[in-house]
Structure 1
Amino acid sequence: MKNVAIIMGGYSSEYKISLKSGEVVYNHLDSTKYNLYKIHILTEGWFYVDEQNNRFVVDKNDFSVTVNNQKIQFDVVFNAIHGTPGEDGLIQAYLKLLNIPQTSCNYYQSALTFNKRDMLSVLKPYGIKTAISYYLNKGDVIAQDEIIQRVGLPCFVKPNKSGSSFGISMVKDSEQLLPAIDKAYAEDDEIIIESYLKGTEVSVGVIKYQNDTIVLPITEIVSENDFFDYEAKYEGKSSEITPARISDEEKAKVEDVAKRIYTILKMDGFSRSEFILVSGEPFLLEMNTVPGLTTESILPQQAREAGISLNELFDNAIELALTRTHF
């Protein structure tokens, strides 16, 4: 049987959510088909955690663990780390150097999509619609009037490289701008400030499934808060409606652009892109390459709607990783 390392945790504010995702993957992969190992990648160290919660240090030289004097090496890695180092290309590059296949996209695609402004810049020549944006790096002079003149009010201030809505603020008046920038800088040293798009928010999963690129049923996001923030995502302050209550024409447009983006960027594995439908036209917000995988998360909801169980979804990811010629 193949040895499967399920990596979870990470170094970002998302590590707790990632640990939940990893547990769900561990519980739904077929233990009669694979030898499953939970690997916690944390700021304090990398550990294999067994059923009794004993920790065994991972040897980073070859990504192995030694248990009872027996060295265990892994045939494939299931990546369930949201944020750094699992979603920004670092783990992918490390595993590529060790020649160990993994379930998410390649290191370049991970790094590119994790950097919102770089990804949007790459997609712009392909006619992908996005919000008007303004970029800041830590230390830049903050020209408040210039920012507001460019993006308007209300606007969104976001860390350029973070997920789960950490550090994001909706700014409704000029007095809120500087505190929002400080909040975003607490998560990242690069900021993206975007114009407010009024419309229906939808989330679209695109995955490789049985060697085909498929678009999963679209989810409509209805937040009780001003936007789809952390509370809305994880504390029940939103409704996630799958399939989305949008017209057939809107559905076709969103499916087309989501699949085009996946293809343009030469993606692999899971992806979940967020769009705002403005007058029937999809505007891209961002793409996640290691989306949440808990039973309540959006991508698993979409898979269920498509008739794909979590067992099938995760098993397919392992099978594709093992047969991929590049990783």
Structure 2
Amino acid sequence: MGGYSSEVNISLKSGNVVYKNLDTQKYQAYRVHILPEKWVALDNNNNEYSINKDDFSFKLEGKTILFDCVFNAIHGTPGEDGKILAYLELLGIKHTSAPFYQMALTFNKRDCLSVVKNYGIKTATSYFLNEGDTINTSEIIKKVSLPCFVKPNNAGSSFGISKVKTENELIPAIEKAFKEDSEILIEAFLDGREVTIGVINFEGNTKVLPITEIITDNAFFDYEAKYEGKSEEITPANLSNELQTKLEKVAVKAYKALNMSGFSRTEYIIVNGEPHFLEMNTVPGLTTESIIPQQAGKAGISLANLFENAIETALKTN
């Protein structure tokens, strides 16, 4: 838990929820804080022990502690972008996420969209910018129209995102997004219902969790809406059988097209009865108020079962 991004505090919350819900009769769990200034394991009394990066171990009372499995609760870098997973895979340590390349691919919104489009999944019209590119506001508006969304290409929890309604707002929004990432994505506004769909590996199968509809008074499902109660989250969403089936099929198609495993939560906007893929989160929030735990609860899956399943699935992988 932790990480190097703006999402560090959310990750620490998620990691602590996982830790508190693990069966102590089955697992000897340690919280590991991965932070820019230190990598440390914590015992029950919050004493810190430095992680040896040579083999991801630590010393406790003269004994070397090695891990059988790592539960990845790092939102953003280096957990959600695959970096730490590549390191763990080199060391031969099992983890609860998808392989590092799939994580890197889904974290990069631009590359992720290019893959799902190739499988016939609808997306918003988009425009890409790298830091240093010439910014032509009239060209951008001609392609994506107004209003539009400006977002960092590699960031989560809605950090750095702006909804732009006028051409004058475009440059400040771009500057805000560049504070989070050197690549940004500008997308056309999709006017429709927003839903978020959890897809996980559960007991050996790809399982779609009950769908959540997001209703927010904010301009979009931003940080406040996600974490400060500024939105209404309806689970299960009030959908016709036909639309629910369509959404579930698209969700499974995207999960498989991206070669995903482990957790995922994907946002879609429904426009004229058609789901449009926005983005996939591969380390979704796991706090008690987060959506995946809500959806799992509606599916009759307790937090303890949800987390234990992730660990047992990871331990069975090659």
Same fold by TM-score greater than 0.5: yes
Quick one: which amino acid aligns to residue 184 of structure 2?
I
Q: 2:292 aligns with which of 284, 290, 299?
A: 299
**Aligned residue pair count:** 318
Which of 42, 55, 71 is the equivalent residue of 1:78? 71
2:183 aligned partner: 190
Task: Report the Cα distance in structure 2 between the residues aligned to 1:136 and 1:232, rounded to whole angstroms.
Answer: 27
C-alpha contact (below 8 Å) 2:115/2:257 kept by paired residues: no
**Given that residues 124 and 190 in structure 2 are in contact (C-alpha distance below 8 angstroms), is that contact kept between their aligned partners in structure 1?**
yes
| 1:300 CA displacement | 0.5
Distance in 1 (CA, whole Å) between partners of 2:310 and 2:220 is: 31
User: What's the offset of the Cα at 1:245?
Assistant: 1.5
Structure 2 residue 44 is the aligned partner of structure 1 residue 51:
yes
1:49-87 CA deviation, whole Å, 9 max, x = no partner? 122221111000000001121110000100000000000
| Alignment of 1:229 onto 2:222 | yes
Percentage of identical aligned residues? 63
Q: Does 1:199 align with 2:192?
A: yes
Q: Distance in 2 between matches of 1:52 and 1:30?
A: 18
The reply to whether residue 169 of structure 1 matches residue 162 of structure 2 is yes
Q: Deviations over 1:170-207 (max 9, x none)?
A: 00000100000000000000000000000000000000
Provide the alpha-carbon RMSD of the alignment: 0.6
Task: Give, in angstroms, the shift of residue 132 of structure 1.
Answer: 0.2
Q: Tell me the distance in 1 between the aligned counterparts of 2:163 and 2:131.
A: 20
Deviation digits for residues 75-114 of structure 1, max 9, x if unmatched?
0100000000000011110000000000010001000000
Paired residue for 2:259? 266
2:101 to 101, 108, 112: 108
- What code does the residue aligned with 2:110 have? R
Q: Which has the higher strand share?
A: 1
* CA–CA distance in structure 2, aligned partners of residues 225 and 44 of structure 1: 35
- State the distance in 2 between where 1:164 and 1:178 align: 22
User: 1:114-138 CA deviation, whole Å, 9 max, x = no partner?
Assistant: 0000011112121110000000000
2:155 is paired with a residue of what secondary structure?
coil
Tell me if structure 1 keeps the 8 A contact 2:130–2:183: yes
Aligned residue type for 1:149: K
Q: Determine whether 1:276 maps to 2:241.
A: no
Distance 1:201 1:287 in 2: 14
Q: CA deviation at 1:247?
A: 1.6
* Cα offsets for 1:117-175 (capped at 9, x unmatched): 00111121211100000000000000100000000000000000000000000000001
Report what 1:117 is aligned to. 110
The match for 2:62 among 56, 62, 69 is 69
- CA distance in structure 2 between the aligned counterparts of 1:320 and 1:198, rounded to whole angstroms: 38
**For 1:287 and 1:320, how far apart are their aligned partners in 2?**
21
Aligned equivalents of 1:208 and 1:23: distance in 2? Answer: 22
Whole-Å separation in 1 of the counterparts to 2:139 and 2:281: 30
Give ranges in structure 2 of 5+ residues lacking alignment.
none
Residue 255 (structure 1) aligned with residue 234 (structure 2): no
What's the counterpart of residue 232 of structure 2?
239
Q: What TM-score do you get using the length of structure 2 for normalisation?
A: 0.99
* 1:322 matched residue in structure 2: 315
C-alpha separation in 2, matches of 1:238 and 1:275: 16
What is the match of residue 151 of structure 2?
Answer: 158
AA of the residue aligned to 1:240: E
Name the TM-score, length of structure 1 as normaliser.
Answer: 0.96
